[in-house]
Amino acid sequence: MGDVRKKEKKLLEEALKALKNAYVLWGFGVGASVLAQDGKVYSGCNVESWISGLGICAERCAIHHAVLHGNKKIREIAVVADAKNKSEIKPCGACLQYIADFAETPEIKIVTAKADGDKILFETVKVKMLKEMLPEPFRK
């Protein structure tokens, strides 16, 4: 995927900055950034705990950051993982539901990429729509 648009590149770069602060005990570092309804970018990183499931993924951390600043909707999300040996980078099911809860539309983009140290591996960038990844989110 050589044709990463400027907006996606900016989001990925912000996610990479957040990744550097990831608190990793047993997994791998992840950074995420969301473009929120106010037009600003908010980032988050994963924060692990020794108790599996108690920490938080980067995606939900970034969404909390956007909410903290008064946003209720997001327009796009990028995720960068320091996991060049993993087969695929994608949000977990809990995060997909969370993204759906805060997405402006089911058509928002989820941009993922692997990182190697200080650089994004642009050849690993994937862009998918939320509705492709979670076609039937939970709704009350």
State the residues that interact with Zn ion by CB under 5 A. Answer: 57, 92, 95
Q: Which is nearer to Zn ion, 70 or 79 (CB)?
A: 79
76 counts as catalytic: no
Residue 106, C-beta contacts closer than 8 angstroms, at least 6 positions apart: 100, 129, 130, 131
Q: Return the ∠ at Cα 23 (arms to 34 and 45), rounded to 5°.
A: 0
Token readout for 131 is 């509705």
Active site residue: 8, 14, 48, 59, which one? Answer: 59
Strand partners, 113: 80
Give the CA distances from residue 92 to residues 11, 30, 62, 88, 133, in Å, rounded to whole numbers and listed in that order. 19, 12, 14, 12, 10
Cβ at position 92, least distance to Zn ion in Å: 3
For helices 58-68 and 93-102, what crossing angle results, to 10°?
Answer: 20
Residues forming the active site: 59
